[in-house]
Structure 1
Amino acid sequence: RPLSPQEVYLKVLYEAYRDRLASELGGQDDKLSPIILADFQRDGYHAAREILEQYGGVLIADSVGLGKTYLALRLLDDYAYQQRRTALVICPAALRDTVWKPLLEQHAIPHRIESMEQISRGDLDLGDLAQYSVIVVDESHHFRNPGANRWRNLFELVRNANPEQTRLILLTATPVNNSVYDLYHQIRLITRDQKDFFQSAGIDNLESYFRNAEKQRESLYELLEAISVRRSRAFIRRHYPDAVIDGKRIQFPQRHIHSVQYDLQAVYGDDLYQRIAQTIEELHLAPYQLDSYRHEVVQNCLLLFGNEWEQIEQALRKAGMSDEQIRKFRFELRGQAALASLMRVLYLKRLESSVEALRNSLHHQLEFQRQFLEALQQGKLLTSKDYRRMLMLEGDDEEEPSEDLQAFLKNLESIDASQYNLHAIQKAVEEDVRKLESLLQELERLAPQHDAKVNRLANLLTNDLRHEKVLIFSYYKDTAQMLDQELKQRLPHVEIALVDSDVPMEERKRIVQRFSPQSNRYTLQPGEREIQILIATDALSEGQNLQDAGIVINYDLHWNPVRMVQRIGRIDRIGSPHTTIDVYNFIPEDALESLLNLMQRLLDKLGQINRTVGLDASVLGEAPNPMDFNTLKRIAQGEDAVLDELEQEGELNIGEFLIEDLMQYLKQLGEEHLGRIPLGRGTAKYARNPSQVGFFAAFRHTRTERHYWLFQRNDGSLETAQLRAIQPVRSEPNEPAAPTPQPEQTEQKLQALRAELVKRLNQQVHRAKALPTVQRQIQQWLRVQPSSALRNELLQYFKDALPATDLRELRTVWCEVQKLAPQQALQRLKAFAESHPHPPVNPTALEETTEDDVECIAWMWVLPRENNP
């Protein structure tokens, strides 16, 4: 009997996934362990264990509330309890005492817990932590910034560890917050910056792989299959509908979005609102972008959005700058202009949040500019090596308390003012000071008692949500503290509490227990009252058990909609007693379009700065993404479907439909039929659209067990990315087969594709490793030096790519080295090599492949639909 397209499609999936399905279809039993898992958690544990043994690291990225902590706990039971390895858990401080410490002590697992705040310390003693061979990082998306202390410290900790012994377990429901590079920087902790770490999975260079994935996110499929365990909430609901833990059936609540409309212009008054929006856009913010006031820049009329860079470059050369100094200046110029734009973006976000948030922010800016002006009038030009700290002062309130403004101002230093146009700077600062003073004078008259937005919240709490347990979120501490004070006055008989970064960890723990005693197994003490309304910033860490509540209110617009998913995850968790979760989002109905338009203009300027100065590195991660604006409008319309879409986007459940298609078939019809289909069989089908016409072949490498899916289009182009290759052959039940071309044509296609695959695999084996430019330059210099033991040692050292974390320092060293005599230069390079040893890595051992090593699983012709009679 000829095979149907669906049979061939599912045969390909079955052969690729059959080992994983052994557990997902009930084929694996747990070893004896006191840690009880639901069946979907057990399947995740088995997959994670296999990945850990192969790669030494794993990313567990199941949806929020699915119990990733328990998967990690089960792995710790294996490694730390059974095998007696030393275990280190790194987590947000708020989870140390409420989640990790009780669980680890309950199961007698030897451990050490460090908070992310501790890992962030500049003076962290890494030697003290080097003894730990199993490291769990909870909420690992906090390690997405390689410039942050916490990332650098963790990287240094793992880079020098023994790869044979070390196991790194990363837990996050949202590996991507702003871009795919968030994921890249987390994966670097596993690979120790070894670019070819996943060569055996078909990824030659991880860095270039991610550059491609930024344009085509589905390209991440191969990497995610290799290194991650990721199941969406929707997937678990569909395929584990009867999941139980310890005999109790797990309930997954339905989620509903509600839009709470309010009048933003009424909060400020029409005229004042328009003036504030205009002033935010017009602020000069000169102290943040001093380099644009250098004589060479001003004389060449660079308004940051022109095309005069060549003239400026010539002027800087005449002023005596080297090429390297000009490169750094260009980077600084663009960074400063972008920083000023980000400050404007931040003020716009605070404008929507609350009068209090905007007022405090503008007051900080006024105080800063006054001090700057006062120094300027005394002939001093103040600067800071890190004006980005000002952004931190005004940014979202997260885990750690922000720096005090006065401490920031005290650290400002004066620089040589002779290189700058002081008159232009003074004029710009004086204009900003006048505008800020005028705005603040009017903002001081506005009181929360008459605030239309606060009134809307109070009405909601006293009517529709009366007697409900409610969690209220704001991005900003100023807004949260104002709401706490105002609601306590308006609702004196309701127990209300606040959690922001100013609240000590021990007090946060008690507040969480009183707000959600049932899910935290907490008994109220004499004199304690259960908290009914909890107001929080995002300092209320992910991973908290707050599922006694079934309602979340988001008081601010979701400029980063993925954050909404993280917040819902605080209450939509395993063990929730609720059948529905209700999410209320405050929307400034009257001003939404004008806010989005203004935000778009600010972001356009930011993009223009990037294009003008011409650098690839982006700072837009700290700003809203215009692509999210449509999502924002859908949230405003109360579309429930947007939640699942956001969850999938943040979680990168790429290709989940493949395993879903297969499981759906197997649960209905079993695996016997697919198992009996001989290897090498195929069929034909009609294409859904002209771009999908071609020939598909699935191969397996008999020695490595790796699967390869190839699709050759009619124009001869070859698709080897698995997800894109299999899309044209995805088939529905009862989809009819098309007439199959002659067997000779099929055999010819298979032989050609097998030969092409073997050629590409062997090219991987022999491909020279790409070296960073600075290392290539050093090698070229070393080769022309007289032969010596030291020179030969250095040639050996620089032949392997160094981690990106070392390259900035190496560039500086190389600039110095070129000015030294050869012997001094060799000694300087030796000192660098001794202080920057290569991370110990497991080399990727690739072997030559022959055509006999590659067997055909199945094939399929995808024919033009016009061939269908």
Structure 2
Amino acid sequence: KEKVQAGATIYLPSSIFTLYAFNELKDVIKKSNKVKFLFNKPTFIQKIKTTEKNVKEFQLQMNDREKSVSEFALEISMKNNLDQNAVANQCYLLLEDKMEIRSVTENHFFNDNGILIDNETGDSYLIQSSNLEFSMPGLGYSNQQRLGFAYALDDMTSIDSYRQFFNESWNNKEMVEDVKEELLKYISNLYKENSPELAYYITLYNLFNDKLVNEDEYAAIKESTGIKKTKIWDMLFNFQQDAVVGAIHKIQKYDGCIIADSVGLGKTFEALAIIKYYELRNERVLVLCPKKLRGNWVGFKQNTITNPLVDDKFNYDVLNHTDLSRIKGMSGDIDLTKINWGNYDLVVIDESHAFRNNSPRNDRVTRYARLMDSIIKAGVKTKVLMLSATPVNNRLSDLKNQINFITAGNDAAMAERGKNVSSIEGALNMAQQAFTKWAKSPKEDRTTEALLNSLSYSFFDVLDTYTIARSRKHIQKYYDTNDIGKFPERLKPKSIYCPPTLDGSFPEISYMNSQILLLNLCIYSPLLYVLPVKKKEYEEKYKTYTKEGKSLFSQLDREKNLVNLMRVNILKRLESGVNSFKLTIDRILGQVNNYLDMIDGSGTGTVSPGWDDDDDDDIEEIIDDDMEIGGKIKVKLCDMDLVKFKQDLLDDKEKLEYLSEQAGNVTEENDAKLLELMHQIAVKLENPINPGNKKVIVFTAFSDTAKYLYDKVSDWALKEYGLYSGLITGSSKVVTNLQGVSNSFETILTYFSPMSNHFSTDKEIDLLFATDCISEGQNLQDCDCLINYDIHWNPVRIIQRFGRIDRIGSKNDSIQLINFWPYKSLDEYIDLENKVRSRMTMVDITATGDDDLLDLGSKDLEYRKDQLKQLQNEVVDLDDLKGGISITDLTLSDFVLSLGKFKKANPGLLEKYPTGIYAVTDIPQNVSSDCTPGVIFCLKQTKFTEKEKSNSSIHPYYLVYVKDDGDILVKYSNPKLVLDLYKGLCANNKEVLTDLVKQFNKETKNATDMSKYTDLLEKAVNDIKGVVEKKGVASLFGLGESTVLDKISGINDFELISFLVIK
């Protein structure tokens, strides 16, 4: 500084050029005549000329040098002053006026380091150092320790020689090119005003660029396959196309993916596009689906007028989940004895939560084991796509068992693919422990944010690796609704409370339940009556060890549970309808009489704890499919204590006859609930919700109830209103009174909702009575009114039912939900159920991390009570149900996909964009209830411990939303919410908001006084570090005060990536 006089010429070679070094020397540069700056390693050059084999590595190194202008590691603390904008502006003006900038085009061409000063007076000085570079440490303006020393020469021979060498190099057009415009362009990005959208994508680029799949390596969607020319691709909304691209990336890279989009977002169509992609690659595809959804999948393959995808010529195989339990027979046109199970390249599992349990059996191969061993592990390498709106129930082992299909049971699969998760099971077990602890916390503390704060990074990494999950709210907020169509408006639900009879002749439900509790139901627990001498034989025969033999679950335990589950089921049938209740009681009574006849007759035969009622659509939900109720366990009468068994049978017979007699007093003339249903249908027909729409779906948990309602209502509706009805249950009871229409599952649904099924007809079915066999996977959006005649034990099912009509692109402006609630208070009813359930025996499964399931079970009832109360007043999404887990709160896949699309549309824009930039935005209406004025900071931790690695699911990055008053609106531990809000604030703000920027510039004196925002930055860092640093605050953001900064714990461990000012 001292040697430079006014009008001097300065010759300056360096491998890097940093903003803060320039800021330190700006007065020197101002008084000079000109500065010749030569990058002595290739930097900002346009055409790479290199003999080096690794051109990619050359490019990466050059990019790093270019980014050093604003991101030099040893100057990061200075960027936290938030004065980069002002410094860059001054630098640009001076550089444009005073400096010439050139760069060598190849490495090793100019190796000397020295600053030459030629003053107009003739004095010249040469300053040399082995590690001289144009940075704060390189010029000696920091406390960084550097080996070597600098010295000044005034020997004219050495100076003349250096000047000649510099100028010869400078003027060598083969080896040096002018890069001034490129450097100016880079610096202009540092101080120019940015649009909110650009700030959002720059932030995403820094967070997720390394998560973008290398398309060359992993062969993501290739144009050459023709997938984007197919009918199915054209039918997808943009958010569905994003899911397809993301899922194929995951399937190619990690062998599988779970699409867990919320109800009504079109997972089936997303899966069809993925299937078509693999079929175009000549790969063999199998679809495994619930039997009730088979018709949907088969329909997309058929050459019919109702198939909108007939031109795509799908060729996948379709099997039912239940076919995995069979070794012979036909499934559609597939002979199960001849099928080559191990020869599928892709398996699509619809409603994959059906496989969330992996309970081993010693008497048979479970469906889970058959799928794993015969399809996933056998034969060719099989990739897996799973579809489920509810992949997690209340145990994270649900998710683990599904991910096992993708990894073929390899717990180290993520580590082998370069992820920082050594054990998938370990990560999920830790998360389960955190969830269990959270579930036991007081209700007011049981928030999503509290749960997120307790979960480790490894859990989020598992989710990001294997799942794609978006909620309806997410789609509405963050995608252009003009592109995706609308969801119908949900009207406030109607709640109906109706007594069993008009004349009050039926006993109180609490009294009836007390009688149900007195039932022995001994036909479901024959092992309880086995003679002592035979006990060991039956125990050995039917006992089951859980995974790795950690715990034992005996058949006796199963039977005790079964008895209590039957009591729950009888109570649920009573709540559904007295008619259904009577049929169930009579059915059990018939079995009791049958066993009494056997005992009084020959005294031989077998007792099997089965459920004779094969028309029960609820029983599969209540009892694990692996319990195999239905006759798998057989106990010989001669091995039983027949005296005690007969005594309990006679006791049950007496009580069952009393219950049946009471139920028989209720007829259709005094069935208050039936009459109220007819009234509600009449009100809807006479006061349409949407013009001309007469359609109503009536849901019930039980086939008996559905058939009763159809029998009593269909004739009335046809006579009074000219409307045709249909009945669909899961037990082959499928019928309609519309003449000429076949009594088949798919046909009745098509005639009930022809528009959504692309079918044209003069006559339609307008009333549909159904069980939960159609509560998943069906699109019935022609209908605008859904009635729950009984309340399913699981609140999730209520929402899934409503999802049949509450769908994207609906023709209806509004839709109505009507719920029939238990006549007594909901609290009392659930308490009745709780009395029954609390008797259940729980197996110890500490291996899952869920070490107190009994206690958690009572918490679960508490959740359900809260959830059901919530549903009395509003229609909510699955993601908004209180007290549950929704993985849509947790995954970040959508942001990675958005980044990929933006990069493709704007090649080269983000790669060279500097960090430390900012934008100013307003608060759009769609996020106005969630946002407030403040700042969103994106920070990168540069120094951290192994423990700190698990602090953030996006480590080493952190996002914090700080309000203007310094309070934290969204903590660093919830990056998903911050990014959701970031997208909502910025996604459609493609232009700089000039008025707001003027306001910001006035407030900060053109970014020279950033004290308000440095204070907010301090709050953000304190949120991350968990401490409040009071000492040294005054000097915290002083320019160049690195000695003071280094003493303040933690502040210099972070680099500012971007900040969004919200006005």
- Contact 1:10/1:662 (8 A) holds in 2: no
Deviation at 1:179, TM superposition (A): 3.6
SS at match of 2:840: helix
Deviation at 1:519, TM superposition (A): 1.4
**Counterpart residue number, 2:745:** 508
**Counterpart residue number, 2:518:** 282
**Counterpart residue number, 2:682:** 462
The structure-2 alpha-carbon separation of the partners of 1:382 and 1:320, relative to structure 1 and needing over 3 Å to count, comes to closer
Are positions 1:16 and 2:207 aligned together? Answer: yes
Are positions 1:128 and 2:340 aligned together? Answer: yes
Deviation at 1:283, TM superposition (A): 1.3
- Contact 1:565/1:646 (8 A) holds in 2: no
Cα deviation code 1:814-851 (max 9, x no counterpart): xxxxxxxxxxxxxxxxxxxxxxxxxxxxxxxxxxxxxx
Q: Distance in 2 between matches of 1:11 and 1:126?
A: 55
SS at match of 1:65: coil
Deviation at 1:376, TM superposition (A): 3.7
SS at match of 2:669: helix
- Contact 1:175/1:650 (8 A) holds in 2: no
**Counterpart residue number, 1:356:** 579
**Counterpart residue number, 1:438:** 658
Q: Distance in 1 between matches of 2:668 and 2:464?
A: 52
**Counterpart residue number, 1:744:** 1046
- Contact 2:775/2:797 (8 A) holds in 1: no
Cα deviation code 1:675-721 (max 9, x no counterpart): 7454999xxxxxxxxxxxxxx98579xxxxxxxx9799xxxx75716
The structure-2 alpha-carbon separation of the partners of 1:424 and 1:408, relative to structure 1 and needing over 3 Å to count, comes to same
Which amino acid is 2:888 matched to? Answer: N
**Counterpart residue number, 2:282:** 84
Pairing of 1:769-808 with structure 2 (within 5 A): none
Are positions 1:155 and 2:372 aligned together? Answer: yes
SS at match of 1:573: coil
Which of 560, 566, 569 is the equivalent residue of 1:337? 560
Are positions 1:347 and 2:570 aligned together? Answer: yes
**Counterpart residue number, 2:349:** 137
The structure-2 alpha-carbon separation of the partners of 1:40 and 1:639, relative to structure 1 and needing over 3 Å to count, comes to same
Q: Distance in 1 between matches of 2:778 and 2:353?
A: 16
Pairing of 1:47-196 with structure 2 (within 5 A): 47-81=246-280, 83-91=281-289, 92-99=293-300, 101=302, 102=307, 105-123=310-328, 124-125=336-337, 127-146=339-358, 149-161=366-378, 165-177=381-393, 179-196=395-412
Cα deviation code 1:634-658 (max 9, x no counterpart): 2453123465513995752132589
- Contact 1:264/1:591 (8 A) holds in 2: no
Q: Distance in 2 between matches of 1:105 and 1:52?
A: 26
Which amino acid is 1:174 matched to? Answer: T
Q: Distance in 2 between matches of 1:58 and 1:485?
A: 44
**Counterpart residue number, 2:840:** 606
SS at match of 1:69: helix
**Counterpart residue number, 1:498:** 727
Are positions 1:33 and 2:229 aligned together? Answer: yes
- Contact 1:316/1:326 (8 A) holds in 2: no
The structure-2 alpha-carbon separation of the partners of 1:641 and 1:84, relative to structure 1 and needing over 3 Å to count, comes to closer
**Counterpart residue number, 2:80:** 2
Which amino acid is 2:1017 matched to? Answer: A
The structure-2 alpha-carbon separation of the partners of 1:598 and 1:194, relative to structure 1 and needing over 3 Å to count, comes to same
Cα deviation code 1:277-331 (max 9, x no counterpart): 111112122233344446769xxxxxxxxxxxxxxxxx999x9999998989862
Q: Distance in 1 between matches of 2:724 and 2:619?
A: 23
- Contact 1:561/1:631 (8 A) holds in 2: no
Q: Number of residue pairs matched? A: 689
Deviation at 1:663, TM superposition (A): 8.1
Deviates most, 742-751 or 424-433 = 742-751
Give the TM-score normalised by the residue count of structure 2.
Answer: 0.57
Deviation at 1:240, TM superposition (A): 0.7
Q: Distance in 2 between matches of 1:331 and 1:277?
A: 28
Q: Distance in 2 between matches of 1:191 and 1:410?
A: 32
Q: Distance in 2 between matches of 1:409 and 1:366?
A: 18
Deviation at 1:391, TM superposition (A): 7.9
Give the TM-score normalised by the residue count of structure 1.
Answer: 0.68
Q: Distance in 1 between matches of 2:956 and 2:799?
A: 30
**Counterpart residue number, 1:542:** 776
- Contact 2:261/2:471 (8 A) holds in 1: yes
Deviation at 1:726, TM superposition (A): 9.4
**Counterpart residue number, 1:568:** 802
Deviation at 1:460, TM superposition (A): 0.6
- Contact 1:62/1:232 (8 A) holds in 2: yes
Are positions 1:637 and 2:872 aligned together? Answer: yes
Q: Distance in 1 between matches of 2:340 and 2:828?
A: 54
- Contact 1:519/1:575 (8 A) holds in 2: no
Q: Distance in 1 between matches of 2:526 and 2:868?
A: 38
Q: Distance in 2 between matches of 1:460 and 1:530?
A: 21
Which amino acid is 1:737 matched to? Answer: L
Deviation at 1:85, TM superposition (A): 1.6
Q: Distance in 1 between matches of 2:511 and 2:856?
A: 28
Q: Distance in 2 between matches of 1:616 and 1:335?
A: 19
- Contact 1:398/1:538 (8 A) holds in 2: no
Deviation at 1:172, TM superposition (A): 1.9
**Counterpart residue number, 1:784:** none
Q: Distance in 1 between matches of 2:841 and 2:578?
A: 29
Which 5+ residue runs of structure 1 have no aligned equivalent?
298-314, 682-695, 701-708, 752-855, 861-869
Deviation at 1:381, TM superposition (A): 7.6
Q: Relative contact order (C-alpha < 8 Å, sep 6+): which is higher? A: 1
Cα deviation code 1:209-259 (max 9, x no counterpart): 333333435544221100111111111111113352xxxx51122323413
- Contact 2:822/2:829 (8 A) holds in 1: no
Pairing of 1:214-363 with structure 2 (within 5 A): 214-217=432-435, 218=452, 219=455, 220-244=459-483, 250-264=485-499, 266=501, 269=505, 271=507, 273-293=509-529, 331-363=554-586
Which amino acid is 1:65 matched to? Answer: G
Deviation at 1:389, TM superposition (A): 4.4
Q: Distance in 2 between matches of 1:390 and 1:56?
A: 41
**Percent of residue pairs bearing the same amino acid type:** 24
Cα deviation code 1:75-127 (max 9, x no counterpart): 2232212x222222233323134445436642124332334344442434474
Are positions 1:426 and 2:646 aligned together? Answer: yes
Q: Distance in 1 between matches of 2:773 and 2:543?
A: 40
Q: Distance in 1 between matches of 2:705 and 2:497?
A: 16
Which 5+ residue runs of structure 2 have no aligned equivalent?
1-78, 84-195, 215-219, 329-335, 360-364, 436-451, 546-550, 689-693, 735-741, 919-937, 967-1015, 1019-1032, 1038-1043, 1059-1063
Deviation at 1:352, TM superposition (A): 0.6
- Contact 1:257/1:640 (8 A) holds in 2: yes
SS at match of 1:581: strand
- Contact 1:134/1:167 (8 A) holds in 2: yes
Deviates most, 508-517 or 203-212 = 203-212
The structure-2 alpha-carbon separation of the partners of 1:367 and 1:728, relative to structure 1 and needing over 3 Å to count, comes to farther
Are positions 1:203 and 2:421 aligned together? Answer: yes
Q: Distance in 2 between matches of 1:727 and 1:374?
A: 73
SS at match of 1:448: coil
**Counterpart residue number, 1:481:** 707
- Contact 2:878/2:886 (8 A) holds in 1: no
Q: Distance in 2 between matches of 1:495 and 1:568?
A: 22
Q: Distance in 2 between matches of 1:89 and 1:340?
A: 35
**Counterpart residue number, 1:815:** none
- Contact 1:369/1:433 (8 A) holds in 2: yes
SS at match of 1:437: helix
**More helix by percentage:** 1
Deviation at 1:375, TM superposition (A): 3.2
Q: Distance in 2 between matches of 1:647 and 1:54?
A: 35
Q: Rg bigger for which structure? A: 2
The structure-2 alpha-carbon separation of the partners of 1:647 and 1:152, relative to structure 1 and needing over 3 Å to count, comes to farther
**Counterpart residue number, 1:818:** none
